[in-house]
Amino acid sequence: MDEVFEKRLPRPEDLNAMTEESLKAAFAGESQAAEKYMVFAEHAVEEGYANVAKLFRAISYAETRHARNHLRVMKGIGATADNLLTAFGGESFEIDEMYPAYAAIAKAQENAQASRSVRYALKAEQDHKRMYADAREQVLTGKDVAAQLVSVCEICGHTVIGDVPDKCPVCAAAKEYYKTF
C-alpha cells in the first residue's frame, strides 16, 4: 500500500519563491478548512443532522490530504527527529512572541473572550514545548518515548502525560472532559 501511495503523491520539489508562497497560502487555507469542517460536524450532530456531520468529516479528511500534499511538496515533512525540532520551534515562537503580543493587544482592546482563547492556547503550548524537547532527546538516541497515555482537555487543550488531574488546572473543566491518546 505504501508503494501505491508513494507513486501517486506529489513529490518534494525545489520550488521557485512565488510558487512556494502560493503553496504556503494553500496549506494555510486547507488546514483551516479541515479544522472548520470538524467543528461544523459537531454542530450538525447537535442539530440532528447526523449525515451532514458525516459529510463534513469526510470533506475535512479530503482537505487534510490536500494540506499534506502541499506540505510534502514544500519539503515540510522530515525524519522524526527533524519533525520534533520543527514542532518545538513552532511552539517556542508562539510562547515567546506570538501569543504574548496577541494577549497584550486583546487586553488593551478589552476583548475578554479573545484574551481567554489566547491564554488557553499559550498555557498548552508550554506543555507541548517541554514534551517535544523531551521526546527529541529520546529520539536522537534512537529511543521511542515511554508508552504513557497522553490526555488533552477538550475545552482548553491542556496536555498531560500520565494521570489526568481531577480538574483542568487551566480552565477548571472536570477530568471527564479530557480525551486520552
Based on CB atoms, which residue is closest to other proteins, 32 or 163? 32
Q: Note the residue count of the chain.
A: 181
Minimal distance, residue 96 CB to other proteins, in Å = 14
Rounded to the nearest whole angstrom, what is the least distance from the CB of residue 135 to other proteins in the complex? 5
Q: Whole-number minimum distance, CB 26 to other proteins, in Å? A: 6
CA distance 50 to 41: 8
Beta strands in 9-167 (DSSP E): 150-153, 159-161
CB of 102 to other proteins, least distance (A): 4
In terms of CB distance, is 30 or 163 closer to other proteins? 30
CB atoms within 10 A of CB 128: 18
Nearer to other proteins, 144 or 163 (CB): 144
CB-wise, 10 or 163, nearer to other proteins? Answer: 10
Angle at which helices 80-93 and 112-140 cross, to 10° = 150
